[in-house]
Amino acid sequence: INENGLGDVDLIVDNEVLDIPRIKFIEAHLKELRKS
């Protein structure tokens, strides 16, 4: 899945994707949207 242009290598642990970088990217994006 690619949201707002963030392409990243997924880290898979115990058959689950750890999306921490993607979550931080989305949080930062939403923070900037709130400012506008």
Alpha-carbon distance of 20 to 5, in angstroms, equals 16
Q: What pLDDT does 28 receive?
A: 92
**What pLDDT, on a 0 to 100 scale, did the predictor assign at position 6?**
67
**Any idea where the domains of the chain sit in the sequence?**
1-36
Q: What is the pTM of this model?
A: 0.57
Tell me if 29 sits within 8 A of 6, measured CB to CB: no
Task: Write the pLDDT tens digit of every residue in 1-36.
Answer: 555 666 777 889 999 888 888 888 889 989 999 998
Dist. CA 25–CA 36, nearest whole Å: 17
Contact call for residues 2 and 18 (beta carbons, < 8 A): no
